[in-house]
Amino acid sequence: MIDLSKEESRILVVDDEESLRLTFKTFLSREGYGPVTVASTFDEALHLIENNTYDLIVSDIVLEGASGIDLLRRAKEVNQQCPVVMVTGYPNIKSASEAVRLGAFDYLAKPVKKEELLRTARMALQQYSLQKAKDALEQEKENYRQNLETIFRSVRDIIITVDPDLEVVQMNDRAREFAAKVVPELQVGANLQKIESAYATACLQDALIVLESQQELPEHRIEFQGPAGRMVLRISASPLVPGAVNLQGVVFVTRDVSRLESLEQRGRREQFHRLVGSSRAMQTVYTLIENVGQVDTTVLITGESGTGKELVAEALHAESPRRDMPIIKVDCTAIPENLLESELFGHKKGSFTGADRNRQGRIVQADGGTLFLDEIGDISPAMQLRLLRFLQERTFYPVGHDMPLKVDVRVIAATNADLKQKVLEGTFREDLYYRLRVIDIILPPLREREEDIPLLVSHFLERFNKRLGKEIAGISDQALAALTDYSWPGNVRELEHVMERACVLCTGSTITTDHLSYEFSVQSPEAARGGSENYDYLTPEPVDETESESERIVRILTKCSGNKAKAARLLGIDRSTLYRKMRLYSIDPTGF
């Protein structure tokens, strides 16, 4: 709740009698309210309310040349929302009713006693504080609703929600397009039980299970004959209110994967802004950045150290309408705790020891653009509270200043910590966590997208050739296999450093295992991965002349449940060769 403290209560006293003005101001100021401003005439008061905002107005109903009722009416016209207390020495029913009709909070008769004035001021300010809190909450809910609707409309997956009676209550634009082409009967208001379609039947079966169990249903795939041929759809179903007794319905997320392979063969991106990778995981990240970049809301990027969280922040900024304004980056762990507040919010000269000049904080520098807060999970409780207030109000006080500054920035935060666990442990504020995590982008570790390693190796090789003035043509199969089989605890950043070292040491045209660091030369590939399986006992399977090479690779990978080392042995090729052929034939390594 917004708590209007006495020191922050801006009060205007209007009376043409100087003694009463000063008496009211003295009573209120001594009680701790302030600042208290006074006006002696209607015109002076009118100028003040047209150019300032107040938390309470106390006005005499009889003013020289005008009326306090006129002032009250004008205050409402200029959108002064604060309570107004009318004071008069000649109370009557007509003036009282007119004041109440126009929204006066109370009506005091002269002579006004000190206790009566202070009691009325206290009640008026308390009511105003409650009203402001209610308005702020309603605005926050409306902003959240609009953000969700914008995201819901922009997501490329097919999203459909049904109520407990299995009636469709919401569909995003992608779902409407899909339904128009494939299931015309599927519309808002339609009941899944009355739609004759393999897709609707699958959704119906999932909905019944979810409504009964109130648990998310694992993703599965269905196939059926669509208007343009066989279709394969990937469907997941989740409760709208997970675990709640009053379940409100089911949400379905569907993706058409029947065309995905051919589309990816033609248009799978190997690089997006400064991010590199053609894996399915990275394609998902690219799509999410494109969708979320246009929505001006707070984003939380999570992932292990070295996965590229800063690059994602840069890509989000580049995809946003703020792209022509600055992106200001703050590494919250690189700045001492006692200086972080000044670094973010700025400070006034002399506000603390060593503050020999005014300093503009990073938040002001990012005005109109993007503020990227890296390693947000390590800030102190005090900084968490200051940041929360800034995110709520978009205003802040620089250190040593008594006037707030208002800025227009988009906040993107990143962390390699488990913020949800920190919330449970009480070391990170839950309200700040949800403020930051309006949208979250989770970056996969390199070990979960190992098919990107050859592409990253080529990328870094090109970069360091230019930087070091070398002409290294490539990397040996054995060296690439060693890199591919490594577990990469430091992720892409560690791979970058390994490649830089290899390029520095390489004096010829090919990087070999001799140019790799110690951990790659003393361990077998499986040991580097952390496993110990050896498939030397396997002999390659004979070639089936009736199938193509790509079909043979897919069959062997399926047989091995996606185990690349085992599949390579059965195919009779090196694992690095297997990876190259999988890229050549656009074989998704996550599909086995």
Q: Which residues contact 5 (CB under 8 A, 6 or more apart)?
A: none
Q: What is the CATH number of domain 6-133?
A: 3.40.50.2300
Q: Which residues contact 429 (CB under 8 A, 6 or more apart)?
A: 381, 384, 385, 388, 423
- With a CB cutoff of 8 Å and minimum separation 6, the contacts of 178 are 158, 254, 256
Report the amino acid identity of residue 37: T
Residues of the chain with CATH 3.40.50.300: 271-444
> Which positions ≥6 away from 359 have C-beta within 8 Å?
342, 346, 347
Residue 248 has pLDDT above 90, yes or no: no
Tokens of 347: 């400070």
% residues pLDDT > 90 (the chain): 28
Distance CA 417, CA 252 (A): 30
User: Which tokens hold the place of 128?
Assistant: 């105003």
Return the CATH superfamily for domain 271-444: P-loop containing nucleotide triphosphate hydrolases (3.40.50.300)
User: Model confidence over 309-348: pLDDT tens digits?
Assistant: 999 999 999 999 999 999 999 998 888 877 787 788 876 6
According to DSSP, the residues that pair with 217 across neighbouring strands are 237
Could you tell me if 164 and 211 are in contact, meaning their C-beta atoms sit under 8 angstroms apart?
yes
Q: CATH 3.40.50.2300 occupies which residues in the chain?
A: 6-133
CATH topology of domain 533-592: Arc Repressor Mutant, subunit A (1.10.10)
**Among the listed ranges 72-76, 266-270, 417-421, which one has the minimum average pLDDT value?**
266-270
CATH 1.10.10.60 in the chain: give the residue spans. 533-592
Strands (E), 299-392: 299-302, 327-331, 370-374
Query: CA–CA separation, 472 vs 515, rounded Å?
Result: 12
- Per-residue pLDDT at 7 exceeds 70: no
- What pTM did the predictor assign? 0.51
pLDDT higher for 2 or 488? 488
Element (H, E) at 111: none
DSSP state of 359: B
The two three-digit tokens of residue 197, written as one number: 């379609």
Tell me: the pLDDT tens digits for 560-592? 877 777 888 888 887 767 877 787 777 877 667
Looking at the chain, the domain(s) classified CATH 3.30.450.20 span 155-258
One CATH from 3.40.50.150, 3.30.450.20, 1.10.1840.10, 3.90.950.10 for 155-258: 3.30.450.20
